[in-house]
Chain A
Amino acid sequence: MKQQTDFYTVGLAGQPNVGKSTIFNMLTGSRQHIANFPGVTVEKKEGRYGLNGKRFQVVDLPGTYSLTSYSLEERVSRDFILREKPDIILTTVDASNLERNLYLVFQVMEMERPSGLVLNMMDVARNRGIRIDPDKLEKELGIPVVETIGNKGRGSQELKQMIDDVVEGRSDLNRTRRIDYGEMLEPILETLEAEIGAVTNGRYDVPARWAAIKLLEKDEEIQKRFAKLDSSKDSGILSYVDKTIENFRRTHKKSPAKIIASKRYQAAADVIEASVNKEQEVSRTLTDKIDSLVLHRVAGPLILLGVLFSFYELTMNLGTRLADWFFPFLSRLKEPVDMLFGASPDLLRDNLLHSMVSQGVVTGVLSILYYVPIFLVLFALIAILEDSGYMTRVAFIMDRVLRGFGLHGQSTLPLILGGVIVGGCAVPGVMATRAMKDEKARLITILIMPLMNCLAKIPFYILIVGMFFAANQGLILFSISIFTFITALLVAKAFSRYLVKGESAPFVMELPAYHLPTVGGVLRRTIERTWLFIKKVITIILAVMVLVWFFVLFPGIGFEREAVYDTMMNTEIRNMVQTAGQGNRFSAYFENDSLVRLMEFSDRFKRSRSRNAGDKEALASLKKDFEAENRDFFLIVNGGKDTEGAKYGDAKKAANALKVFQKKLKKLKRERKKELIDSSYAAMVGKSLEPVTLWAGFNWKINVAVISTFAAKESLVGTLGMIYSVDNEEGNNLGKTMKSMESGWTVWHAISILILVALFPPCLATLIMIKTESNSYKWAIFAATYPIVLGFILAAIVFQFGIHLF
């Protein structure tokens, strides 16, 4: 990996929650970037810093309790150490919890890279009355030790100095402590080491002693490696190891793995004995006191409910309000695009490229960017819950309930983010499952995520509920969330029983001490996660929106029909000239080119006026600008008056004529668009599905809307609006229009479609997340298909029952 001699790699290992990332940030500042380790979804954070003319590349490894091959994180960490051969591997430990931490330190040291120990959380240890003698610790371990308080930035200089010393070989302590595995194991290890040297013969570059220990621990990955190296011989090293382990178990009644772990803890205890002094035993720490309240049989669940509720309120209310406040600024991004293309010379039709960029690309990006403020709030709150240590308590309280359905206590947060209660987002939900160690429960949690009530379903619920159940909206919305939650639990149960293989991993979870989260830490994580999301999602959304745009507008209605629309428009233009009256000089502007310009002027004027509504001064100066730009146009669009208030009769007449024309043109455009959609590819698909979907009461229009929502569910109501030809600008009367056009609809139609949408397949952004998080296309495709099948079947059953029984 080394390109130059003065370029060094620093690996940061450590158990979960000891402050690795904090130390990483302390070293590298803001010069960092996040990627994944090759081929897996484990996050790899890299950063660099310079010292004494040397450059150091720091890699933040995932937090692990051990370095076995049982979990992805552990494999990633140790592969990094073995393959990348960092110039120094720093193990960060929690000084207040040294014993269990040292267990990992010994394992790292066994991998025989130059090592250093970061003794973090010194403040916590001090508060608990734990006195650590760093010099003695250094001697005991045989590696350099630096004390730090990561969140306060203490110890940064010393740490950098230590790293420099180690990579330069200046540290005289480079004789690390070797665990003595005792007379039962040492002879076996010695034999194995020799054997390993012979087998690998330089083809597998690992420390022989480490490999010997791993073989005795029955480490599957190492076994596989040796099976490859040693395939020819039947009586090879693996069968020798098997026999040895068998014998060992027979004579000592214990597996070597148990002895090995035991000896590591023994060594940890010895080191602590020599270097740590627990002055006064603090009987009840603050964490204990908080826990006796937060985990109390009665108060605990109540507090949990309170926390979850305020979590919800904050994301949904604050987040949505921020998003709504911010969105108008975002939407202005559209204007430069529109400006770039200029007004379409065809009053009836948009410029094709313009329409694609504006309706496809820009709308797609905006529809995602809308959620960014919500994500910021969401991720900030999650970071606070995580950093404070409360998250594990949530899992602790909820585990008993969720376990029955094949889930895990740690599924609580992802499901809440996904929108158990109403209004969430599956993307952060799926992302939040990362913290789960139980792979089976994690996969099931990911798979039921689409059944949660994501934010994008809400406008649709409100539309349908408003149409049919206006009297008890709240009740119906509540029933929807109960319905989806119960369905999701049952589906989870079924998946865990019949579909997802594998045993659940044991649930042993650390309940860490509470910490006050730091502003910097929370902000950093929030921005990191939001940015990651934006990057991942936007490219996909782009492609799909363009696709949807194409499917909804093509193949077009044909020249003949287009000609009919042209004729109708020309008639309207002639009518307008007539209405303006004979000899009206303003009628000259109703000719081809200038009409286009006049319409553009009028649109622009209306937009600016509504943007500055309420601000009289701004309005006045705005009018002045428009008047200066084109006085005649201004007289027309301003209703026949100039800025001084003088009235012009002809202009007034022209203004009225133009208004009528604009209305008529809008109607024509709408009719044309409706015809366009009716004959589009999307409609063809929708219609061909009708024979089946009518079982659940869905006509082709609903089908089209449903198909289009694969891009992003936000578009559901919009697409319906397009199909039912309602212009969103004219207020929200989509409900009324739909009801009048679908007079045959009953309550059962409404319930049926509510069920379908409630159990709707995830949007593409979610599918991408599912793909990356489950690391399999199979599960992503499954997650895309099963909800619609399930939703349709349930909807059809309810619908058929409903219309036949009532």
Chain B
Amino acid sequence: MDENLEFLGEVFDFRIVLVQRSKTNWKRGKVTTLNNLKPGQSARIIDVDLEGVELQRLMDMGFIENTIVKMIRNAPLLDPLDIEVRGYKAAIRRSEAQHIEVEMI
């Protein structure tokens, strides 16, 4: 591919993402991270902002783009979280949930 074109594509892509994000902020659900959900709230995963093992582990457990998750409860000491994902329940620490970007539904 032509280098200039690639560069343009990159910028363009970036814009679109920005526009989409701000749009969703307005019209669709609020964008936040998984750790901010309250018990009973559901959300759709937009992105998991991690790499390597950590990303792989989360993906293997079903935390991946476009998945619907539901916050069930906090642990008695508020951490970890009990999250329903793909029909089962997973315990996940707040520190990891922070890296999961979601859109409220």
Q: Chain A: residues with CB nearer than 8 A to chain B?
A: 65-66, 68, 70, 96-100, 103, 217-218, 250-251, 253, 255, 257-258, 261-262, 265, 291-292, 295-298, 300-301, 392, 395-397, 399-401, 403, 409, 505-512
Contacts and interface: CB of A to CB of B under 8 A. Distances in A.
Shortest 3 CB-CB distances between A and B: which pairs? A400-B77, A66-B60, A261-B59
Interface string B71-105: 01111111110100011111111001000000000
B2 interface: no
A400 B53 contact: no
Given A392-B91, A401-B77, A258 B55 contact: yes
Contacts of B63: 508
Contacts of B48: 258
B80 A506 contact: no
B9 A396 contact: no
Contacts of A253: 13, 17
A70 B50 CA distance: 15
Contacts of B78: 400
A99 B91 contact: no
Majority secondary structure of chain B interface residues (helix, strand, loop or mixed): mixed
Given A99-B86, A261-B64, 12 more contacts: A100-B88, A218-B52, A261-B56, A295-B76, A296-B76, A396-B80, A400-B75, A506-B53, A507-B96, A508-B63, A508-B90, A508-B91
A100 B86 contact: yes
Contact of B91 (A100, A265, A403, A507): A507
B76 A297 contact: yes
A100 B64 contact: no
B59 A396 contact: no
A403 B76 CA distance: 15
B57 A506 contact: yes
B75 A399 contact: yes
Nearest to A403: B93
A396 to B, nearest CB: 5
A258 B93 contact: no
Residue in A100, A218, A505 with the greatest tally of chain B CB atoms within 10 Å: A100
B64 A510 contact: no
A510 B59 contact: no
Nearest to A67: B60
A309 to B, nearest CB: 17
A380 B23 CA distance: 57
A396 B75 CA distance: 7
A298 B51 CA distance: 37
Given A99-B62, A258-B64, A506 B96 contact: yes
A508 B61 contact: yes
A507 B77 contact: no
A70 B91 contact: no
Given A250-B6, A297-B76, A510 B90 contact: yes
Contacts of B90: 508-511
Contacts of B54: 505-506
B15 to A, nearest CB: 12
A185 to B, nearest CB: 15
Contact of B73 (A218, A262, A295): A295
Contact of A506 (B13, B58, B66, B79): B58
A258 B59 contact: yes
Nearest to B61: A508
B55 to A, nearest CB: 7
Contacts of A510: 61, 88-91
B53 A301 contact: no
Contact of B62 (A265, A395, A396): A265
B82 A65 contact: no
Contacts of B73: 291-292, 295
A98 B63 CA distance: 15
